[in-house]
Amino acid sequence: MSAHWLCAQTGGIRGTVVNESSEPVADARVAVIMADRPIQGVARSVRTDRAGRFVFGALEMGPYVVFADKESDGYPQAIGRFYDIAIPTVEISGASPMAEMQVRIGPKAATLVVSITDAVTGEPLQAQDKPAFRIWRWTEDQNVFSGGLNPEGKILIPAGREVGLEISADGYETWHDRGPDSQPAPLNLPSGASVALDIKLRPLSALVTPSFELVKRDLTVNEPVFLKFTVTNHLEAEITLDLSYNFHGYGSFRGTIVRPDGTNDSGPKPSADEMASLHRPRLAPGESYSMDLLLNRWFDFDVPGQYTLEIETVRPFVMGEGAKYGSVKRQVTIDIGPRDAERLRRLCQGLQEKADASAGWQRLESLELLTNIRDPIAVPYMAYLFSDEERFAGEAQLIIGALQRIGDHATIERLVSHRGH
């Protein structure tokens, strides 16, 4: 009885797939899903035989949607409303357990055959570059189809319809189809047309150009050492740089230095007295952005000689149109001359006076620079500011951390005095 009940509750669909000329289509893919419930998992599918025939068995009773396609011949899958494909339905019932139908596909889409090369090297892009496409109805921005580009580079587009086309890949500027006036323009191809596109993608490494250079080269022991980081945007779209600070210093950078004696050091180092902030400047096409990195936050320049710095960005920092620029690594040579006490004294005095006379970010910048001069000469100037507890209460820990790093007798005396007070 149970077997009879199961048989009574199942049925099937059989039929033929034909093209726009009513000719049977062999080796077409046919898929079915129930029309009255959400799609779950992968739809059941079969291939047609040489006569275009197909059969589905053991289907639950109810209404079904039937899809057919053969992309190798230019007949695309029915994806939403994108290809204007009529999708037939059929119902399996107790009165008609084996439904019969004819599924018509066509007309054929137009075919783009895309080859992509690196505009600088001329080399073809590889699978690891993740080449992808995005096509959309020109007057319907939300009617979109996108995906990874197949090894043959074939993209089926709706025939006789205006569509937009974008080609992208990791580490490259997004390519847009353009008209004779260099403005974005739609494609409109007839049914069955095949057009080859040779697309050269410009690498972001040639379009978003970062550089590092010393702000000043006449440097002496324990003097502030600034490295200017500059980014120029040669893309055709705006980009956003993620150059946020973190509690370890400049959050988007990392450096390793070889000191004059051959020993290595790395930064940034964890330090509780460093600040955190978001910093995400935007660059329009053609614009540049620069920021100065105070290397004394990471490294000591406490002996004369040559230092070799290798600095890099620690994460992709370009955002825009989904493109991200990978790590940038550069090497910089820094020559440090003998300690010049008088020069350090003048610098510390100027920074103390500026911090004393200013407020807000100006005061904080002067104080940060002063507290990164790790030399006994800086102690009395920091102690002077530290003694004004009412005005510099918020910066007390920053000054204490700097005094501790210097660690000479005068430093210890002032720390003990402060604690006793």
The pLDDT tens digits for 98-116 are: 999 999 998 899 999 999 9
For residues 167 and 114, the answer to whether their CB atoms sit within 8 Å is yes
Q: Do residues 86 and 133 share a domain?
A: no
- Look up the domain containing 194 and give its range: 110-202
Per-residue model confidence (pLDDT) at position 4:
44
Q: Which residues have a Cβ under 8 Å from the Cβ of 149 and sit 6 or more positions away?
A: 114, 116, 131, 132, 133, 155, 167
Q: Do residues 264 and 380 share a domain?
A: no
Domain boundary among 276, 305, 337: 337
* Sequence letter at residue 205: S
Distance, first Cα to last Cα, the chain? 96
Q: Do residues 83 and 147 share a domain?
A: no
Per-residue model confidence (pLDDT) at position 3:
46
Q: Do residues 297 and 410 share a domain?
A: no
Domain boundary among 104, 128, 160: 104
Instruction: Tell me how many domains the chain contains.
Output: 4
User: Which residues on adjacent β-strands are paired with residue 147?
Assistant: 133
- Residue given tokens 């000043």 in the structure block: 216
Q: Do residues 117 and 181 share a domain?
A: yes
| Mean pLDDT to the nearest integer, 1-18 | 72
**pLDDT above 60 for 1:** no
Per-residue model confidence (pLDDT) at position 2:
43
**Lowest-pLDDT range, 108-122, 334-348, 363-377?**
363-377
Domain boundary among 305, 320, 337: 337
Compute the distance between CA of residue 282 and CA of residue 235 in angstroms, rounded to an integer: 13
State pTM to two decimals. Answer: 0.65
